[in-house]
Amino acid sequence: MKLKIAVLAGDGIGPEVTAQAIKTLEAIAEVYDHEFEFESAPVGAVAIDETGNPLPEETLDLCEASDAVLFGAIGDPKYDNDPSAKVRPEQGLLRLRKGLGLFTNIRPIKAYETLIDKSPLKREIIEGTDFTIYRELTGGIYFGEKQLSKDGKEASDLCSYSEKEIERIAHLAFKAARNRKKKLTLVDKANVLETSRLWRKVVTAIGKSYKDVSLDFLFVDNAAMQIILNPSQFDVILTENMFGDIISDEGSVIGGSIGLLASASVGDKSALFEPIHGSYPQAKGKDIANPIASILSAAMLLEHFGLHDEADLIDQAVERALEIGMVTQDLDKDSTYGTRKVGEFIADYILTFD
Binding site for Mg ion (CB under 5 A): 221, 245, 249
**Catalytic residue (one of 49, 80, 130, 245):** 245
Alpha helices in 55-114 (DSSP H): 57-64, 77-80, 91-99
Name the residue among 317, 280, 249, 263 with its Cα closest to residue 70.
Answer: 263
Helix, strand, or coil (residue 19): helix
Name the residue among 6, 155, 132 with its Cα closest to residue 68.
Answer: 6
Whose Cβ is closer to its own copies: residue 31's or residue 246's?
246
Identified binder of its own copies from the candidate list 87, 158, 205, 324, rule CB under 8 A: 158
Contact segment (CB under 8 A) with its own copies among 2-10, 73-81, 148-156, 308-316 equals 148-156
Residues between 24 and 63 that touch its own copies (CB under 8 A): none
Q: Kindly state the number of chain residues that form the binding site for its own copies, as judged by CB under 8 A.
A: 49
Instruction: Tell me if 313 sits within 8 A of 28, measured CB to CB.
Output: yes
Identified binder of its own copies from the candidate list 37, 39, 122, 286, rule CB under 8 A: 122
Whose Cβ is closer to Mg ion: residue 115's or residue 137's?
137
Name the residue among 279, 284, 310 with its Cα closest to residue 296.
Answer: 310
Name the residue among 187, 291, 171, 174 with its Cα closest to residue 244.
Answer: 187
Query: Is residue 115 part of the contact set for its own copies (CB under 8 A)?
Result: no
Residue 174: partners with Cβ closer than 8 Å, 6 or more residues away: 184, 206, 207, 209, 210, 213
The item of Mg ion, its own copies, none sharing an interface with residue 53, based on CB under 5 to 8 Å by kind, is none
User: Can you tell me the distance from the alpha carbon of 204 to that of 193, in angstroms, rounded to the nearest whole number?
Assistant: 17
Instruction: Tell me if 239 sits within 8 A of 134, measured CB to CB.
Output: yes
Instruction: Tell me if 265 sits within 8 A of 245, measured CB to CB.
Output: no
DSSP 69: E
Query: Is residue 94 part of the contact set for its own copies (CB under 8 A)?
Result: no
Query: Cα 218–224–228 angle (5° rounding)?
Result: 115
Query: Is residue 155 part of the contact set for its own copies (CB under 8 A)?
Result: yes
Query: Is residue 121 part of the contact set for its own copies (CB under 8 A)?
Result: yes
Least gap, CB of 224 to Mg ion (angstroms): 9
Residues between 245 and 284 that touch its own copies (CB under 8 A): 245-250, 252-254
Query: Is residue 320 part of the contact set for its own copies (CB under 8 A)?
Result: no
Residues between 173 and 192 that touch its own copies (CB under 8 A): 189, 192
| Contact characters 208-247, its own copies, x per CB under 8 A | ------------xxx-xx--xx------------x--xxx
* Known active-site residue 189: yes
**Catalytic residue (one of 157, 249, 309, 348):** 249
* Known active-site residue 221: yes
Least gap, CB of 353 to its own copies (angstroms): 36
| Dihedral angle computed from the Cα positions of residues 114, 115, 120 and 122, in that order, rounded to the nearest 10 degrees | -20
Helix, strand, or coil (residue 271): strand
Looking at this protein, which amino acid is placed at residue 140?
A: G
Least gap, CB of 247 to its own copies (angstroms): 7
Residue numbers annotated as active site: 142, 189, 221, 245, 249
| Chain contacts with its own copies (rule: CB under 8 A) | 119-122, 125, 141-142, 144, 146-148, 152-164, 189, 192-195, 197-198, 201, 220-222, 224-225, 228-229, 242, 245-250, 252-254
